[in-house]
């Protein structure tokens, strides 16, 4: 176990150096003292999931999603209720084109913390890509209501609500609640960011269409 921790420590130092090199900075590798090394190893032994999680994030930033996936899985093995690791694992799956696995990972993150707005948002986008609009609107609405100061979430909630409204129209179902919900989302978006691209245009269109359903 101790040998494995030393190897993990060495890999972590190498990874940091490679990340800095990739950004074009000059790298000067300084060998850590034995005391620092022992403290680091002790930290890893107590919370290995944190190291694996950070490694996963580092791999993700480099675009190495396969390695990121493995790191997040290691983090989850070390801490089964690590909601952020499940969320980021879902992101890795999504980036690899495995949308079903991504949905499962985001769903697990939400089961751990139903108030995890970021996971609801990511799950909504994953459902949206699969054309599952009802599920997408459900989760983007939750995300937007949990995080009302996120203009991006408000805008996406408005767009998805309009899409589901239009889908209902095509099937002979009029969901005016979706239309008025979209109006609220676009208004929130503009409250947080008055210059958010296309939000004002969409709100003006919604206001005109909504007149027919008052």
Q: Are residues 37 and 68 in the same domain?
A: no
Residues 31 and 75 in one domain: no
Domain shared by 136 and 186, yes or no: yes
The answer to whether the CB of 126 falls within 8 A of the CB of 120 is no
Same domain, 94 and 183: no
Those residues with Cβ within 8 angstroms of residue 162's Cβ, 6 or more apart along the chain or in another chain: 178, 179, 182, 202, 206
In SS3 terms, 29-92 reads as CCCCCHHHHHHHHHHHHHCHHHHHHHHHHHHHHCCCHHHHHHHHHHHHHHCCCCHHHHHHHHHH
31-40, 62-71, 100-109, 157-166: the lowest-pLDDT one: 31-40
Count CB-CB contacts under 10 A for residue 11. Answer: 12
State pLDDT tens for residues 85-129: 999 999 999 999 999 999 999 999 999 999 999 999 999 999 999
* Domain, as residue range, for 176: 118-214
Residue 39 CA neighbour count, 13 Å, CB half? 5
pTM: 0.76
Per-residue pLDDT band at 36 (split at 50, 70, 90)? very low
Do both 60 and 76 map to the same domain?
A: yes
Structural domain count of the chain = 3
Q: What is the CATH number of the domain that holds 152?
A: 1.25.40.10
């Amino acid at each position: 176990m101790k040998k494995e921790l030393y190897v993990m420590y060495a890999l972590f130092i190498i990874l940091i150096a490679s990340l800095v090199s990739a950004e074009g900075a000059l790298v000067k590798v300084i060998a850590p003292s034995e005391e620092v090394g022992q403290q680091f190893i002790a930290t890893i032994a107590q919370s290995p999931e944190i190291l694996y999680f950070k490694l996963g994030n580092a791999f993700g930033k480099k675009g190495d999603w396969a390695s990121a996936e493995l790191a997040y899985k290691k983090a989850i093995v070390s801490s089964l209720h690590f909601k952020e690791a499940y969320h980021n694992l879902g992101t890795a799956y999504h980036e690899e084109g495995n949308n079903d696995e991504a949905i499962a990972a985001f769903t697990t993150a939400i089961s751990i913390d139903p108030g995890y707005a970021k996971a609801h948002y990511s799950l909504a986008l994953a459902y949206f890509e699969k054309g599952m609009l009802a599920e997408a609107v459900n989760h983007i609405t939750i995300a937007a209501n949990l995080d009302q100061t996120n203009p991006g979430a408000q805008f996406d909630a408005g767009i998805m609500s309009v899409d589901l409204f239009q889908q209902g129209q095509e099937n002979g179902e009029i969901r005016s609640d979706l239309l008025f919900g979209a109006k609220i989302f676009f208004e929130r978006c503009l409250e947080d960011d008055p210059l958010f691209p296309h939000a004002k245009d969409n709100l003006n269109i919604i206001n005109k269409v909504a007149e027919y359903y008052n």
